[in-house]
Amino acid sequence: MNKRYLVALDQGTTSSRAVIFTAEGRMLGAAAQEFKQYYPNPGWVEHDPGDILATQIESLRTVVRQTGIHPSEIAAIGITNQRETTVLWDRKTGKWLHNAIVWQCRRTASYVEKLVQQGYSETIREKTGLVPDAYFSGTKLQWLLDALDARQRAEKGELCFGTIDSFLAWNMVKGHPHVTDATNAARTMLFNIHTQQWDDELLKMMDIPRALLPEVVDSSYVIGMLDDDILGVPIPVAAMAGDQHAALFGQACFEKGMAKNTYGTGCFMLMNAGEEFKLSENGLLTTVAWRLNGKPTYALEGSVFMGGATIQWLRDEMKFVEKASQSEALATSVADTDGVYLVPAFTGLGAPHWSMYARGTLFGMTRGTGRAQIVRAGLESIAYQSNDLYQAMARDLGSAPGVLRVDGGATANDFLMQFQADISNTSIQRPAVLETTALGVALLAGLAVGVYSDLKETASGWHVEKKFVPSMDDSERRQRLHGWKRAVDAVLYWARDDME
C-alpha cells in the first residue's frame, strides 16, 4: 500500500487528539478524548499521566478506525503537546512518581522569587530567552525532586524527566527513547538556546541532576517506531514540537518576519525571528521556533491571557449571550462601542506589559451603554491585546510584517478578524485548514521521512480561505489606540495596595 497519510498526536491541556492528514495537507479525520483536571490546592493544576497516555492512544486508534484507513498506509506520526507540563518517572519501570505538574500551575512561585532575589534573572533571560516564571518546567521539576525527596535517585540515573512529548515518546515508541525536541527543551528554563544544550549553570542554579534529562533532538527527526501493540504495525514517529511552534510551522511562516496568532482561550502570537538569536527589547520571549538538521530557527513570542476566555466571561458570568457564536451578531448590531473599553486583565496582563497587578475594568460607560456595546468592547479587547504583541514584534524586527496569519476557534468571528486588520493596519489571512498545530507537526513528520523534500514543498498545501484587509482611516485608528492605551495604563497597578 502507498504511504499516503500523516498523523498528528495533538496532546492538549484538556484533551488528547489525533488527526489524520493526506500528504497534500487535507484533513481526513480527527478524534479526541477529554481527561480530568486536578486542583489539589488553590493555584495548583495537575494531570494524571496515565489519563494522558490512555486518551492519546485511544484517540489514535479511534481516528484510524473511523477514517477506515489501514495503519500501514501511514507514512509517519508527529507529536505536538501542551508545553512546560512536567512529568517524572522511573527509568526502569516507566511508572510516574507523581501527577504531571501542568503549565498553568503556580505552586513554584516562591522558587522563582528566590531565583530573582539571588540575581539570576538576567542570566536566565540571556541563556534561555525566557523571563523567570513558574510557567516554565525548571522550577516544577525542582519542586518534584524536593517534594518526593528524589534527588539522590535522580543523580544515580534512576529517574526520567520529560515534558508531555517526551513522556508519550517513552511510552509509545519501541525501545523507550528518552528524548525531547529543541522547542520543548527551550521552554524548561534549563536549556541554553545559543549552544542548544542543557546548561550546567542553569542546572546548578535549580539543583537539577543532568542524569534525568532527555536527549534533545531536531523537531523533524525519526526517534523510533510506534510500538506494534498500538496499531498492529510499526510506524515511524518522526516529529516532536510544542503546540505553538507546530502552529507556526503549520502556517508556513518560514521566512523571517512572518507571524501567526492563535486565538484560543488565550492568544499566542509567534513571529519567525530568523536564524540569529536576539533578545526582545519590548517585553517578548525569545524561543526556538523549530530545529532542522541541527540548526535552530528562532521566534519571538507573546501571549494574551484572556482571548476566547473573554467571550466565555461575557457568556457565563455576565449572561450577555447564550452562545459564544452570538457575540458577533450582537457586536455588529451597534455602530461602535460609544467609547467603551473593556480591559480583561482578570489574571493580570502578559506581554508586553507583564503586570500581575492589573485587573479587569470597564471604562467609558454612560447611561446609554448596553450589553451590545460591552460585548463589542470585549471582542475588540482581544484585537487590542493582540495588536500590543504585534507592535512589540514590529519594534523588535524594525518593521511591521504586513501580514498576520491566524488560527484557533475565535477566528470564525469575522467581526473580530476585520477589527484586528483595522486596528493593526495589516492584512489578516485565515487559512483553509485551521488545524494548524496538528498540521504543522504532521508536516514535520513528513519532512523527516521524505514525503516532502524541503520546506517549500510542505508549504504547498497552505491556502488562504479568507483575507481581511484594513479599511479604518489612520486618524480613527490613532484615536481608538489612544483610548486603549489610557485604559490599560489605568489598570496596570490596580491590585497593588501599597501605592500612594
What number is the average pLDDT over the span 198-218?
A: 96
3-class secondary structure, 240: strand
Is 182:296 a contact under the CB 8 Å cutoff? yes
Q: Report the alpha-carbon distance of residue 500 to residue 498 in Å, rounded.
A: 7
Query: What are the helix and strand counts (H, E) for the chain?
Result: 17, 23
Give the pLDDT score at 498. 57
- Contacts of 169 by beta carbon, 8 Å cutoff, 6+ apart: 79, 162, 177, 178, 179, 180, 223, 224, 237, 240
Closest CA to 358 of 493, 496, 500, 497: 493
- Contacts of 83 by beta carbon, 8 Å cutoff, 6+ apart: 103, 163, 183, 184, 187, 242, 243, 244
- C-alpha grid cell, residue 51: 489519563
Is 5:69 a contact under the CB 8 Å cutoff? yes
What number is the average pLDDT over the span 464-470?
A: 95
Q: Report the alpha-carbon distance of residue 241 to residue 174 in Å, rounded.
A: 20
Any idea of the CA torsion for 41, 85, 126, 496, to the nearest 10 degrees? Answer: -30
> What is the DSSP secondary-structure string of 416-482?
HHHHHHHHHTSEEEEES---HHHHHHHHHHHHHHTSSSSHHHHGGG--EEEEE---S-HHHHHHHHH
* Residue carrying C-alpha cell 521521512: 449
What CATH topology corresponds to 252-500?
Nucleotidyltransferase; domain 5 (3.30.420)
What number is the average pLDDT over the span 190-215?
A: 96
Q: Do domains 5-244 and 252-500 have the same CATH topology?
A: yes
Please, is 219 exposed, middle or buried when counting C-beta atoms within 10 Å of its C-beta (0-12, 13-18, 19+)?
buried
Domain boundaries, the chain: 5-244, 252-500
Mean pLDDT of the chain: 92
Say if residue 200's pLDDT is above 90: yes
Phi–psi pair at 398, nearest 5 degrees: 100, -10
- 99-139: pLDDT as tens digits: 999 887 888 888 988 999 999 999 999 999 998 888 899 99
- 240-269: pLDDT as tens digits: 999 999 999 999 999 998 999 999 888 999
Give the confidence band of 468 by pLDDT, cuts at 50, 70, 90. very high
3-class secondary structure, 32: strand
Say if residue 228's pLDDT is above 80: yes
What number is the average pLDDT over the span 278-307?
A: 92
Whole-angstrom CA distances from 15 to 48, 104, 111, 248, 298 are 12, 15, 29, 21, 28
**Eight-class DSSP state of 277:** -
- The H-or-E segment that residue 327 falls in is helix 327-331
Give the pLDDT score at 80. 96
Q: Which amino acid is at 460?
A: S
- 308-329: pLDDT as tens digits: 889 989 998 889 999 888 999 9
Say if residue 141's pLDDT is above 80: yes
Give the pLDDT score at 57. 97
Is the domain defined by 5-244 classed in CATH 3.40.50.450? Answer: no
Give the pLDDT score at 494. 85
Give the pLDDT score at 106. 80
Give the pLDDT score at 275. 92
Q: Report the alpha-carbon distance of residue 364 to residue 59 in Å, rounded.
A: 48
State pTM to two decimals: 0.89
- 448-466: pLDDT as tens digits: 999 999 998 998 888 999 9
- Note the Cα 30 to chain centre separation in Å: 20
Is 99:162 a contact under the CB 8 Å cutoff? no
| Cis peptide bond prior to 40, omega within 30° of 0 | no
Give the pLDDT score at 309. 83
Closest CA to 140 of 68, 94, 206, 236: 206
Q: Which amino acid is at 463?
A: H
Closest CA to 177 of 233, 128, 236, 137: 236
